[in-house]
């Protein structure tokens, strides 16, 4: 299991770094929204992986909140972006 | 699905539309109650899942929340007029999972493919055969998760979806994507559509502009 | 090898696959040229990746109440990712953020041109 933990941690860290790079570089607000959504999904993945390895359910409500937050956040931002330029 | 089958197609759909309107006149109250009950049940189920257990308190609390939502945040009515066909639904789910995996691998391969070859995409218009809101919404929803397609725009009145296709190499890729959208719609209607809609999907129509299998 | 070991291996495999898919989505985000292509990367591999990790979590928990919450989270991911993607696609197209050079065919533009023309 230790090997799995290390592999998953490395994979998710690189993925998060790449998503963060896209958030920083943009160029448009929409690119940042897409990247932020992926970043939140990666956070869900990381928390879920940790819970799966250590066999506890304490973070499950956080996963639920994160998944709603990702959706509500991107919808709000997309509406803002569409209104701003249309 | 909803009863607004537009009477601009062949005679079948005109007859169906008239039948629906008659049915609606006869049973408006009962249908509305059934829809509301269905929504309440669905919301209560989600509420209980949120709490993680089914208890009487949760069921009651969920019912209160559901009624409050329905009263204060009314949505346009979506009537489910079809019927569930478990076998077709199982096929649909199975194909969905398979296509989700294929799509992920494909997008992943496009992402990591070495070399700086230019990525070529396309936006194609696909006219659905069953033009109801529910069918449009469900097809669009599933489409975004299956191979190389993403909805850019939905024309509700014409029942047309504008689909963004990733990684197009030639004309046959476009034809294949079109066929895949229509096949998906057919599978969806086979699992949850009404009998009339099923006939619209399986009958070889001449009115649709995007007939499957029409490679140039 | 007992049943528990097999399940542990399954958990590990699901976790690694989920991590790989997330990584692929990240690479896609950085390498793809325009918003729509990036949205492709953000929906498909990412959703499947999260689902696989949730599956691993479900297998390692093996109890009903947690499973219900996980089903809810997974369903939420499946339901909302395409919705957000479609809103992004629509906003991207309407605000002209689509890379026209990379499009082979654009039937939406043809449709709009046709609609503007008085027949």
> Angle of helix A29-54 relative to helix C64-94, nearest 10 degrees?
170
The number of folded domains in chain C is 1
Sheet containing B160-165, strands listed edge to edge, beginning at the edge strand earlier in sequence: B149-155, B160-165, B121-127, C103-106
Q: Tell me, what's the pLDDT at B98?
A: 86
Of B49, B111, B155, nearest to C41 by CB-CB distance is B111
> CB of C104 within 8 Å of any CB in chain B?
yes
The Cα of C12 is separated from the nearest Cα of chain A by a number of Å equal to 6
Tell me the two tokens of residue C46.
């990412």
Cβ contact A52–C23 (<8 Å):
no
Q: Average pLDDT of C35-51?
A: 83
Neighbours of C17 (CB within 10 A): 19
Under CATH, to which class is B86-202 assigned?
Answer: alpha beta
Q: Average pLDDT of C10-36?
A: 86
Q: Tell me, what's the pLDDT at C113?
A: 66
φ/ψ (deg, to 5) at A46: -65, -45
From chain B, the residues in CB contact with C86 under 8 A are 140, 144, 150-152, 154
Tell me the two tokens of residue B10.
């062949």
Name the one residue in this structure whose structure tokens are 């949120």.
Answer: B50
Q: Which residue of B has its CA nearest to C86?
A: B151
pLDDT tier, B206 (very low <50, low <70, confident <90, very high otherwise): very low
**Residue C33: domain span:** 3-116
> Tens of pLDDT along C78-114?
888 888 888 887 787 777 766 666 676 677 766 666 6
Cβ(A33)–Cβ(A82) below 8 Å: no
Of B49, B122, B152, nearest to C90 by CB-CB distance is B152
Residue B119 predicted with pLDDT over 80: no
How far apart are alpha carbons B171 and B110 in whole angstroms? 19
Q: Which residue of A has its CA nearest to C65?
A: A57
Cβ contact B125–C68 (<8 Å):
no
Cβ contact B125–C47 (<8 Å):
no
Residue B109 predicted with pLDDT over 80: yes
The number of folded domains in chain A is 1
Q: Tell me, what's the pLDDT at B4?
A: 43
> Tens of pLDDT along B137-165?
777 777 776 655 777 777 777 777 788 88
Residue B86 predicted with pLDDT over 70: yes
**Residue A30: domain span:** 2-85
Q: Which residue of C has its CA nearest to B99?
A: C44
The Cα of B95 is separated from the nearest Cα of chain C by a number of Å equal to 14
Q: Map out the domains of chain B as residue ranges.
A: 11-72, 86-202
> CB of C33 within 8 Å of any CB in chain B?
yes
Q: Tell me, what's the pLDDT at B177?
A: 79
Residue A59 predicted with pLDDT over 80: yes
Neighbours of C108 (CB within 10 A): 21
End-to-end CA distance of chain B: 35
Work out whether strand B121-127 and strand B160-165 pair parallel, antiparallel, or are unpaired.
Answer: antiparallel
Cβ(C42)–Cβ(C12) below 8 Å: no
> CB of B55 within 8 Å of any CB in chain C?
no
| Average pLDDT over all residues of chain B | 70
């Amino acid at each position: 299991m230790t090997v799995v933990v290390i592999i998953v941690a490395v994979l998710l860290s690189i993925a998060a770094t790449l998503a963060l790079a896209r958030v920083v570089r943009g160029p448009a607000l929409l690119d940042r929204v897409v990247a932020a959504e992926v970043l939140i999904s990666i956070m869900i993945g990381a928390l879920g992986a940790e819970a799966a390895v250590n066999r506890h359910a304490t973070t499950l409500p956080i996963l639920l909140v994160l998944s709603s937050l990702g959706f509500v956040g991107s919808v709000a931002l997309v509406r803002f972006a569409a209104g701003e330029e249309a | 699905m909803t009863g607004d089958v537009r009477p601009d197609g062949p005679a079948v759909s005109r007859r169906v539309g008239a039948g629906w309107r008659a049915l609606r006149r006869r049973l408006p109250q009962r249908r509305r109650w059934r829809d509301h009950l269905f929504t309440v049940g669905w919301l209560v189920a989600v509420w209980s899942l949120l709490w993680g257990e089914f208890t009487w308190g949760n069921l009651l609390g969920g019912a209160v929340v559901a009624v409050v939502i329905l009263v204060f945040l009314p949505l346009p009515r979506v009537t489910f007029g079809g019927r569930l066909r478990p076998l077709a639904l199982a096929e649909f789910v199975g194909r969905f999972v398979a296509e989700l995996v294929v799509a992920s691998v494909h997008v992943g391969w496009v992402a990591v493919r070495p070399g700086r070859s230019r990525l070529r995409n396309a936006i194609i218009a696909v006219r659905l055969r069953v033009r109801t809101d529910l069918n449009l919404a469900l097809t669009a929803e599933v489409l975004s998760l299956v191979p190389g397609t993403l909805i850019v725009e939905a024309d509700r009145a014409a029942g047309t979806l504008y689909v963004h296709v990733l990684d197009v190499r030639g004309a046959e890729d476009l034809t294949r994507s079109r066929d895949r959208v229509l096949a998906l719609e057919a599978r969806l209607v086979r699992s949850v559509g009404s009998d009339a809609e099923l006939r619209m999907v399986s009958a070889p129509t001449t009115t649709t502009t995007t007939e499957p299998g029409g490679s140039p | 090898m007992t049943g528990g070991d097999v399940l542990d291996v399954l958990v590990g495999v699901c976790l690694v696959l989920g991590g790989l898919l997330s990584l692929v989505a990240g690479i896609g985000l950085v390498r793809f040229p325009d918003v729509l292509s990036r949205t492709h990367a953000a929906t498909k591999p990412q959703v499947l990746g999260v689902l696989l990790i949730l599956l691993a979590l479900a297998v390692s928990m093996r109890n009903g109440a947690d499973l219900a919450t996980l089903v809810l989270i997974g369903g939420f991911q499946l339901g909302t990712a395409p919705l957000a993607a479609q809103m992004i696609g629509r906003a991207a197209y309407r605000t002209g953020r689509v890379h026209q050079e990379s499009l082979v065919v654009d039937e939406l533009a043809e449709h709009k041109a046709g609609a503007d023309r008085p027949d």
